Structure 1
């Protein structure tokens, strides 16, 4: 059973090791922290922490470093999420203000987060599966090519060029636009996808027989775009930080680079992380082993979207500044939530 002072010693070891990247000894703890006890007493506390597998000696006769279990106890019971400075909050607001569109906003989100933390930044796109289709536009690029634009109330915008099997004039385009709008606008993405994918979906729309081939081509393109709205997406920044921090990892960083390249693993991990009552989540080292990422830690914060909740966070070595990274993720998430809420209200 670890004593209260023992937990404070663990806190000191985590903080000092994160700050110095050097194993922490009893003498250093006495010198840096006001425990008011001797180095011998601190050594006894460290022995107890070692028995509980919260710290470990990386080398013979060295100081101690936290284990993944030690980081977990620190995050769950000892860490205090520090508020960002006024300068950091201003940087977030300035960097994220007036985005051109959702893609621009998400790209800015991960860039500012990696600047704040020095880690790989990750952000799930808002889910559009339950968003409603608010508008469909058809723009003739040529007599046999049409730009299809879909817009949702959650900020999702899709643009896709559809080749047409027949030539269309402006009147034909207006008829097709009205017919397609009657099928999908005002409906959730998931429902719209089901309606347009049902056998005979295009045929259910009454229109001139000569327009049916064009209608079928357009519904095929729209179906594909609605499927894209339903896919989970992840945007990242700061992958180069892994190379600069390679010495912080106990093993190879290649699994992390592969995960960044493929995204599927990171999406699944981000989705399965359990948040606390504040919407914050942390997954540390060996807890990520089932995903092949046992060398890394991920911290994340929920943010609100018109379609539910999504997450933004950072990934890096287990030796990271958890309180500061959690604070940065939380602050960015809160600002992102506010922007999306304001955008939704404006619509």
Structure 2
């Protein structure tokens, strides 16, 4: 049997099954694809592919569908990730360029990726263990009420309104901001508490209590900023693929809702030479995701955080990989700002 034709038959079965959701037979392959051989030859090729565990018959006397092993061979044989259409690239640029703060960027990213792939889209917020304090802002809302804003150097913003024990003048609040920013600018978020414990020079004694309250809130916000978290969109797309999950989609939904499983999985995934990572079905180390595939791409300065797609193993891998990689590139460009 020709190795090249065997891979062509596998590719054709994969493509037809992805689009039809129906097991694929030899007659359909001959009619839809220009393989240059007879149905009998294709049947022999399919028998060999089945023996290798690359395709399987879900029912007696039915056509064939790819196995996880078959999808893996197909994905590995994609020599390069095809570019998105010009229209899709313009849509990505238009939507993401119009974003505001980093949270808006993340929200737009997952909604856009879900629309492009018709799957569940997931974005992991940037890893912030190495992030540093870029800016601090205090806004006086009332004599004892202050909006505290902490901005990290990766663009992440955390803010909260707090109440002071005593009234404070706007000029005094500005002095405290200058003193704290001078002490903390460029400090790693993980070290904010230790840096403040060492003391903040130049603050009058009468402002000591306000300094302590504001400093404690900055420590709290820096801890929030370091937390790993993800954002998702398109979960409803799973409901349209219930036929791809013979048992139940409940474990998948629970894994998405808890987020811990997805955070671990995304953190573990390593990009290949094409700039993407693909986990197919049983390759996922978590039982709840054993009937799904995950395509992810790193973004940001060190590509440590991931943006990705989760869906059934019956996935249009070339298109999904292209969309995910393109969105990751635009996201990196915007955050680098």
Structure 1 length as normaliser, TM-score? 0.90
Quote how far apart the aligned CAs of 1:17 are: 0.6
CA displacement at 1:188 relative to structure 2: 2.6
Superposed displacement of residue 8, structure 1: 1.7
**Structure 1 residues 308 and 324 mapped into 2: Cα distance closer, same or farther (>3 Å)?**
closer
Does residue 253 of structure 2 align to residue 257 of structure 1? yes
The answer (yes or no) to whether the contact 2:261–2:286 under 8 Å persists in 1 is: no
Deviation, 1:291, is 5.5
Structure 2 distance, partners of 1:185, 1:141, is: 24
For residues 213-238 of structure 1, what are the alpha-carbon distances to aligned partners after superposition, in whole Å with 9 as ceiling and x for unaligned? 32222222111111111111211111
User: Which residue of the other structure, out of 297, 316, 325, is the alignment partner of 2:311?
Assistant: 316
Is contact 2:180–2:200 with CA below 8 Å preserved after alignment? no
Secondary structure of 1:313's counterpart equals: strand
Q: Is the 8 A contact 1:127 1:308 kept in 2?
A: no
Conserved in 1, the CA contact under 8 Å of 2:56 and 2:65? Answer: yes
Shift of 1:292: 2.2
2:85 aligns with: 85
Alignment of 1:186-225 (within 5 A): 186-196=186-196, 200-201=197-198, 203=199, 205=201, 207-225=203-221
Residue equivalent to 1:153? 153
Is the 1:55–1:65 contact (alpha carbons within 8 Å) kept by the matching residues of 2? yes
Unaligned 5+ segments in structure 2 are: none
Query: What is the SS of the residue equivalent to 1:277?
Result: coil
TM-score by length of 2: 0.93
Residue 104 of structure 1: aligned partner: 104
Deviates more, 1:95-104 or 1:127-136: 127-136
State the alpha-carbon separation in 2 of the partners of residues 164 and 185 from structure 1.
23
Aligned: 1:331 with 2:326: yes
Alignment correspondent of 1:136? 136
Of 224, 232, 253, 1:228 maps to 224
User: Which residue number in structure 2 is paired with residue 95 of structure 1?
Assistant: 95
Provide structure 1 residue ranges, at least 5 long, that are not aligned to the other structure. Answer: none
Supply the RMSD in Å over aligned alpha carbons: 2.0
Per-residue CA shift, 1:224-253, capped at 9, x if unaligned?
111111111211111111112212223211
The 4+ residue runs of structure 1 with deviation greater than 4 A are 203-206
Conserved in 1, the CA contact under 8 Å of 2:78 and 2:318?
Answer: no
Cα separation, 2, equivalents of 1:36 and 1:63: 20
Q: Name the CA distance, whole Å, in 1 between partners of 2:286 and 2:157.
A: 35
C-alpha contact (below 8 Å) 2:141/2:147 kept by paired residues:
yes
Q: Counterparts of 1:111 and 1:70 in 2: how far apart (Å)?
A: 30
Judge conservation of contact 1:137–1:177 (CA < 8 Å) in 2.
yes
Q: State whether residues 265 and 291 of structure 1, in contact with CA within 8 Å, keep that contact through their aligned partners in structure 2.
A: no
Residue pair 1:2, 1:49 contacting (<8 A) in 2 also: no
- Relative distance call for 1:114 and 1:295 in structure 2 (3 A) is same
Distance 1:48 1:246 in 2: 30
Whole-angstrom CA distance in 1 between matches of 2:123 and 2:145? 35
Residue 272 of structure 1 is matched in structure 2 by 268
Give the match for residue 288 of structure 2: 292
